[in-house]
Amino acid sequence: MGNKVSIPGVLVKEKLSGYAFYQDLMRQLEEGVKNYIATSTNNALDQEVDHLLGRGVYVRRDEQDQERVTAYCLGCHSRRRQEWARNGHKRRGLATLWGSDLLIWMPRVECQVCGGTVHVEYETVASRQRLWHDVRAETREASGVGQSLREIKERLDSDLATSFGLRTLNEQVHRMAELVGQWQEQTFAVSPPVLLLDALWVRVMKREKRSKRDKKKRRRVVKRARWIPVMVALGLWPEEKKKVILDWEVGEGPGEDAASWLRLLTRVEERGIRGARGLRLIIHDGSKGLQEALEEVHFAALRQRCLFHKLRNILQVITLPDDLKREEARRIRRLILREASAIWQAPEKESARQRQEEFCLRWASSQPQVVETMRRDFEDTLTYYDVLAWAQEQGELWPVTWLRTTSPLERVNRSYRRKLRQMVIAHSEIGLRAILYQATIRIEHGQAGDPHGWTSFIEQLLWDSS
C-alpha cells in the first residue's frame, strides 16, 4: 500500500491518479464536510439544551432553580426547567447539496413530573425543518436569477437523487416576502431631488367568498384572476445620473385607488423623502387616485405631469372619419403629435405657453377633444422649466429628459415585468411580494455599475433570507 497524504478530514491515496483520483478526492471531501457540519450542528443543539436547562450533562439539578422558560411540557404545560431532564436524541435527516441527507441528532427533553415531552424551539435547526440552509439558499438564489420553480426542481432532483415538491420550493421563495417589511422601514439618509411615481399591472389569483367541490369532491375556495396595480416610487439624482427604487405598494384594484397610493406616499414621506431634506420635484402621470393621495401627503415639492402620458392621452382622443384611408389617418395623427410635442421643446416657459395657444387655435374646430385634453392641467406640464432654472442657479446641469417624464421609472418597471411574465400569474399576494422583492434587489445591483454588484446581489439573497 502506497504512502498517504493527510488533508484535514480527508485521507488521499497517492497511487490513484487522473479522474479516479479526482473522484476519490471529491467523495472524501464531501464526506469530511458533511461529517464536520453534522458534528458542529449536533454540538450546537446540545449547547442549546445546556442553556435551556441551566446545567450541563451529568450535572445535578439545582432544587432552588425556579426559572421559567419559553419551552413547555406538552403534558402538564409546565415551564419550570428545574422539573426537566434530557431524554436521549431522535434522528433527523436534512436534505443538503452535498448529495445525500445530513444526519442530525435532535436532543429530547422530558418532564420528570408527568413524563411528558418538552416542546423546544431550537435555533440551530427549526422545528420540522427538512432542508439544510444550502438547499434553501440555492432555491432563493435560483429564483432570484430568473429560474422557474420547475427548473429549480429538475436540477435539485438530479443533483441530489431525490424528489422535491413544488410547494416545498415555493415556500422557500415566499420566505423572501418576510423581508419586505424590514426593507420598507429603512430610513433614507439623503432625499433624492426628484421623485417618480407610476404603477405597473400584474395578474393575481384572488379568493372569492364562494366555494365549490373539485373532482375528488373536496371543497375548495374559488379563486379568480384579477389585474391589480403595483405602485412604484423611484428616486432620481439628475446630477449624478443615479436612480434608486425607494418603495412599492401592492394595490387593491381594480384601478389605482387612492388608499393604496396614500399608503405608499405616507411611508415614503415618513422614511425621509420630503422637501425639507432636498426633494425638489415629483413627476407623475396624473391618475385620479394618485392626485388625491398627493393632496393628503405634503412633500413640499413641485409637481410635474409626465409629458409621455400627456401625449398618449392626446393620441387616444384624436377623432377621424371612418372612411379615411389608413395612410392619411396615420399622417394626421403623427402631425398632431409632432406639433404637440414641439410645445415642450421651447427654450423658455413663456414660449411654451405661446406654442400651446397656437396649437389650440389650429385644432379647435377639427379636434375639440384634443384641445380640451391639451388645456387640462397644462401648467403642471411646465414645472420642469422652474426646476431647471433652480438647478442652473446652483451650478448644476440636470438632464431635461429626467425632469419631464416618468420614462426612467418605466425602464425599471420593464425589469419587473420580465420577472412577472415568467411567473405568468401570482397565486397569492405573498408570492407576488416575494418575487417583487427579489426583482428589486436584482435591479438595484444591476444599476450599481460596480464589478462586484452581482456577487453582492447573490450574498443578499442568501443571507437576508436565511
**111 or 24: whose pLDDT is higher?**
111
d(CA 451, CA 448): 9
pLDDT value at position 26? 76
pLDDT value at position 161? 72
Q: Which residue in 79, 83, 70 sits closest to 110, CA to CA?
A: 83
**279 or 219: whose pLDDT is higher?**
279
In the predicted structure, residue 271 carries a pLDDT above the cut 60: yes
C-alpha cell at 22: 479526482
Q: What is the pLDDT of residues 145-176, one digit of tens each?
A: 666 778 878 888 777 777 778 787 777 777 77
Lowest mean pLDDT among 28-42, 134-148, 188-202, 244-258: 134-148
d(CA 204, CA 424): 9
pLDDT value at position 283? 96
d(CA 407, CA 453): 24
Lowest mean pLDDT among 167-176, 264-273, 418-427, 441-450: 441-450
Around Cβ 2, how many Cβ atoms within 10 Å?
8
pLDDT value at position 7? 47
Question: Rounded to two decimals, what is the model's pTM?
Answer: 0.70
pLDDT value at position 350? 95
In the predicted structure, residue 300 carries a pLDDT above the cut 50: yes
pLDDT value at position 462? 45
- What is the Cα 107 distance to its own chain's centre? 37
Please compute the mean of the pLDDT values over residues 356-374 and round it to a whole number.
94
Please compute the mean of the pLDDT values over residues 255-271 and round it to a whole number.
93
Please compute the mean of the pLDDT values over residues 123-151 and round it to a whole number.
76
pLDDT value at position 282? 96
Q: What is the pLDDT of residues 168-209, one digit of tens each?
A: 777 777 777 778 888 888 899 889 999 999 999 998 887 777
Give the count of alpha carbons within 13 A of 156, CB side only.
28
Contact (CB, 8 A) for 84 and 111: yes
Contact (CB, 8 A) for 228 and 253: yes
Residue type for position 200: L
d(CA 259, CA 357): 37
- Three-state DSSP at 393 gives helix
- Three-state DSSP at 153 gives helix
Q: What percent of the chain has a predicted confidence (pLDDT) above 90?
A: 46
Contact (CB, 8 A) for 404 and 307: yes
- Cβ-in-10-Å burial (0-12, 13-18, 19+) of 456 comes to middle
End-to-end CA distance of the chain: 46
Lowest mean pLDDT among 84-88, 208-212, 389-393: 208-212
DSSP string, 80-141: BGGGEEEEEEEEEEEE-TTSSEEEEEEEEEEETTT-PBEE---SSS-TT--B-HHHHHHHHH
Strand ranges (E), 163-218: 194-213
Q: Which residue in 410, 345, 408 sits closest to 382, CA to CA?
A: 345
Contact (CB, 8 A) for 82 and 66: yes
Give the count of alpha carbons within 13 A of 81, CB side only.
19
C-alpha cell at 30: 464531501
Helices (H), 271-406: 288-296, 307-316, 326-343, 349-363, 368-375, 383-393
In the predicted structure, residue 250 carries a pLDDT above the cut 60: yes
pLDDT level of residue 224 (50, 70, 90 thresholds) = confident
Please compute the mean of the pLDDT values over residues 283-293 and round it to a whole number.
91
Q: What is the pLDDT of residues 91-110, one digit of tens each?
A: 988 888 776 678 889 999 99
